Structure 1
Amino acid sequence: MNGLYWFRHDLRLADNPALVALSKRCNQALMLYVIDPSWFKPNHFQSRHLGRFREEFLYQSLRALEKELKKSKQRLVVKVGNPLEIIPKLCEKHQIDLVATTEHPGFTERQQLGHLSKILPCEVMISESFTLFIKNQISFTKDNFPASFAEFKATISAQNLLPCIPIAKPDSLPPAIDESRDLWGGQEFVYDLTPYHGGEDSGFVQLNQFFWKTQGLKNYKDTRNRFDGWQCSSRLSAWLSNGTLSVRTVAAELDNYEYRYGKSPSTEMMYSELLYREYFQWMMHFHGKNMFAFDGIKKKRPLTSFYCENYKAWEQGTTDCPLVNACMRQLNQTGYMSSKGRQIVARYLVNTLNVDWRFGAAYFEQQLVDFDVATNYGNWQYLSGVSADSEHLLPLDIDKLAREYDPDGSFIAKWAESSPSVSLLRF
């Protein structure tokens, strides 16, 4: 039997049920990743799906995956184009009997798989490993999906749902099917992602660093809202977003940590953050394209009055608000912004500048090294008031937040000294 494995948001060998299943059934296989040129083209909101930081992180991850596959006498075949055109051609050329991949809650990702399942003459096997739980564990539907994270968390707790246990990497992989690959990852990058580095091994290193070596988890509850500092948060979101590290692996490591040291406010907060990510994944699963709608899943149209100058000032970090400017310059020059910073700049864009929230969400999609479609658009809907759980949001007191989270003004001062970021947008 000939197989084709389509890597998407699962760029790893460990905890990859679809890859294990394919390896057991196929005599030879093609390991495929498709780079879609549309990722690099501006959308309706003048931002690209894939910006420079996540692009480099992706290429690093693909190189690391290729290295791991070589250990099993396999190779990664990278194609550039539309996967809905490339995969059927490869299946016909190599007489593929089985296509396997990992399910992802993204609207586009699900549409692509649905289309392939209809047009391919071979079997299409889809496994779940991007989330803590699988469909059989989840009792929600679109009609009764929790309106708030608190309700989601309470339901999960009441039902005593436990995350799926991560599985080991395949014992071996089928021999490679001979197929040429397109040129990829040959760009010379002039920016530094350090200490980020894409790849499965790097993800495990960061997990070990945060949980065990530096004991960052021990003080997580107190440090997670700080604006800067590598050890203030787990920084695992970049590896989780492209699947070089599975969320189930993180949950299992957290369970191991609690077994050794006991539960604490920090470990409980860490698990709550994993559940928060999970909440948005299932929200995307059930609400689909409504996650991108102007009026949101709440069907409430916000009031906006778009001024190009206001938006460009926000995007470049040249507004009247020093804290917003510092956060945006940090994002533009590093690809990272803290969770608290993301909340502040989002609400400033929506509530103070009255800009359509989708411009901000699209810009985050382009800039963030750890962009995750469900988490990004779910959070932006919530902060802009078009999500089901947005009623209680109070007016933003940025001066108070600056005093609370940057009491000595060091964060603002650090980024005030940097040059305003060059706009990536063209109006």
Structure 2
Amino acid sequence: MNTLYWFTRDLRLHDNAALLAAAKSDLLLCVFVVDPRWFQPGPRQCLTMGDHRWRFLWQSLMSLERSLRPVGQRLHIAFGHPEEVIPELVHRHRLARVVRSRLPGTREAKQWLAIKERLPDTLCQQFETLSLFTQSTLPMPLDDLPDTFSQFRKLVEKTGDRSCERLRIRTHSALPPPPGFPEDNRGDCPPISEPQHPGRFAGGEQAGLAQLERFLFNTHGIASYKETRNELDRWDSSSKFSPWLANGSLSVREVAETIGDYEREQTSNESTYWLWFELLWREYFYWYALKHGAALFRRDGVQRKQRPATFYPQRFKAWCQGNTEYPLVNAAMNQLRETGYMSNRARQLVASSFINELELDWRYGAAWFEQQLIDYDVASNYGNWQYLAGVGADPRGLRQFNLDKQAAQYDPQGTFVDRWGGHAEQPVGLHSVDAADWPIS
């Protein structure tokens, strides 16, 4: 059976169940589709993919292409709509099967359905590669996924087994050859811009695996992770795995297994557990997105809690540009805009200010994160924004951080604010409105 393998958020050869299934073929066409709609404005004034995300993704694709050649493969990078590109390639190469990883997100689900409808005589298969568990190994049916993370965690840990070895898939050493390889149209993709402030993140499987080894066994940062994870700006304060996990250059099961290796070989403490704990949060939101579908993007969230919200264009622009009355928020937003990254603690603070002080619709903040973050993950991003807005998985409801207290705790000397220019010269105050403001019903 000749197969098309559609790389999506699984840009790796290690621990890739979908690629393993696709490799059971005589001929294999490996494809990645760059969708032009990613670079166009969406309904909330933001692009799906900004410069930082695009640069990191392209680096990851080039790394994947280099990894495929020694195992007998090449990467076909197509620029176009997946629901058109994939069927056209199937027909051109007379392929009998299409395989991809299962993805959360309604847009991704609609594309998959459209492809299946255009290929009624083609076998279309999906496999779990983004998660610790498969749907069949979850400790509950998906429909019974708990409403809160704490309930989910207790059910997972009730099994007494944190090992995912039963799910870990070997690295591929050889793949079937491609069915001919015409020139692709990758040259039509948008150019890659160079950042004014180059970050420390480099896309690709090898870079992700190297960071895993570095944080655990080279610097032993995992051993003090719980104490340092809320720092705002130091590289070694947290694992920094999220960008590689987001596009699948690094397998979450590989991370979980390596944590287990570290605990057996080095030490097991509250910090090593806490890194596993954070992987469980990511896992929960993955299944949360699959369970709730379109409700992940509703203003009233999965809880259907009606919240008054008004769109103030000036406030939204000031928040995006780091020009509010809150220096800590400004600094974090400047860091995000200039580098494509900000710490987990900073994300909570800027989201809280967006929802509470600025009184804006949380979905606009989530859309800006989607454009900017190199580690954007649809499930974690929208799940966390719902959580902060009090319409999602948080049983306590709306959460608000005291920004002055947070600044005193996490930036007492003002180092972070000074480094990222948090003191705006002419900040936009809450009193600023204009005729373009309108209530959102």
Q: Same fold (TM over 0.5)?
A: yes
Whole-Å separation in 2 of the counterparts to 1:69 and 1:305: 49
Q: Per the alignment, in what secondary structure is the counterpart of residue 214 of structure 2?
A: helix
> Do the aligned partners of 2:323 and 2:424 also contact (CA within 8 Å) in 1?
no
CA-to-aligned-CA distance 1:59-99 (integer Å, 9 cap, x gap): 00010011111112211001111111111111111110121
1:300 aligns with 2:302: no
Query: TM-score with structure 2 length normalisation?
Result: 0.91
Are residue 89 (structure 1) and residue 88 (structure 2) matched?
A: yes
Query: Which stretch of the first structure deviates more once superposed, 187-196 or 261-270?
Result: 187-196
Task: Assess, with a 3 A threshold, how the Cα gap between structure 1 residues 395 and 56 changes in structure 2: closer, same or farther.
Answer: closer
SS at match of 1:48: coil
Q: Out of 284-293 and 83-92, give the one that drifted further.
A: 83-92
Q: What RMSD over aligned residues (CA atoms) do the two structures have, in Å? A: 1.8
- Is the 8 Å Cα contact of residues 141 and 286 (structure 1) preserved in structure 2? no
Name whichever of 53-62 and 400-409 sits farther off.
400-409
User: Residues 91 and 392 (structure 1 numbering): CA distance in 2 closer, same or farther, change over 3 Å?
Assistant: closer
| 1:267 aligned residue | 272
1:117-157 CA-to-partner distances (Å, cap 9, x unmatched) read 34321212221111000111124456532121111101111
What is the CA–CA distance in structure 1 between the aligned matches of 2:175 and 2:326, rounded to whole Å?
54
Unaligned runs of 5+ in 1: 421-426
Alpha-carbon distance between aligned partners in 2 of 1:139 and 1:168, rounded to the nearest angstrom: 24
In the alignment, the residues of structure 2 paired with residue 271 and residue 39 of structure 1 have an alpha-carbon distance, to the nearest angstrom, of 32
What's 1:116 paired with? Answer: 115
TM alignment of 1:10-409, pairs within 5 A:
10-23=10-23, 25-120=24-119, 121-141=121-141, 144-160=144-160, 162=162, 163=164, 164-178=166-180, 179-184=182-187, 187-191=191-195, 193-409=198-414
The one-letter amino acid of 2:186's match is L
Aligned partners of 1:30 and 1:42: how far apart in 2? Answer: 32
Q: Which stretch shows the higher mean deviation, 338-347 or 384-393?
A: 384-393
Cα distance in 2 for partners of 1:398, 1:165 equals 42
Distance 1:339 1:109 in 2: 26
1:8 and 1:33 in contact (8 A); partners too:
yes
Once the two structures are TM-superposed, the CA of residue 265 in structure 1 deviates from its matched residue by 1.0
1:17 is aligned with what amino acid?
A: A
TM-fit CA distance, 1:52 = 0.6
Residues 389 and 28 of structure 1, relative CA distance in 2, 3 Å threshold: same
Q: Is the 8 A contact 1:32 1:76 kept in 2?
A: yes
SS in 2 for 1:31: strand
1:135/1:310 Cα in 2 relative to 1: closer, same or farther (>3 Å)?
same
- Is the contact made by 1:165 and 1:252 (CA closer than 8 Å) also made in structure 2? no
Partner AA of 1:57 in structure 2:
F
Q: Which amino acid counterpart does residue 54 of structure 2 have in structure 1?
A: E
CA distance, structure 2, for counterparts of residue 49 and residue 186 of structure 1: 14
| Separation of aligned partners in 1, 2:93 and 2:10 | 23
- Structure 2 counterpart of 1:182, which letter? N
| Cα distance, 1:126–1:77 mapped onto 2, change above 3 Å | same
Aligned partner of 1:423 in structure 2 is none
User: Could you say what secondary structure the match of 1:125 adopts?
Assistant: strand
Matched letter for residue 8 of structure 2: R
Moved beyond 4 Å, runs of 4+: 417-420
Q: Identify which range, 390-399 or 146-155, moves more after superposition.
A: 390-399
Q: What is the DSSP-based 3-state SS (H/G/I as helix, E as strand, rest coil) of the residue aligned with 1:79?
A: strand
Q: Distance in 2 between the 1:206 and 1:28 partners?
A: 34
Amino acid across the alignment from 2:278: E
Query: How big is each residue's C-alpha offset from its partner over 1:157-192, in whole Å with a ceiling of 9 and x where there is no partner?
Result: 113454353211223111122232112467252215
**1:248-298 CA deviation, whole Å, 9 max, x = no partner?**
000010000011123211111100000000010010010011000011001
Matched letter for residue 13 of structure 1: L
CA offset digits 1:195-237 (Å, max 9, x no partner): 1111111111111111111111111111110010111111110
Q: Deviations over 1:1-60 (max 9, x none)?
A: 32111000001111111212222x211111100000000111111101111101000100
Q: TM-score, normalised by structure 1?
A: 0.94
Measure, in 1, the Cα distance between the counterparts of 2:399 and 2:172. 50
Identity of aligned residues (%): 41
Give the residue type in structure 2 aligned to 1:399.
D
Structure 2 Cα separation of the partners of residues 394 and 34 of structure 1: 39
Q: Structure 2 vs 1, CA of residues 22 and 305 (structure 1 numbering), >3 Å: closer, same or farther?
A: closer
Q: Which runs of 5+ in 2 are unaligned?
A: 426-435, 437-441
Task: Tell me which residue corresponds to 1:424.
Answer: none
Contact 1:383/1:390, CA 8 A, preserved across alignment: no
The question of whether the paired residues in 2 share the 8 Å contact of 1:32 and 1:79 is answered with yes
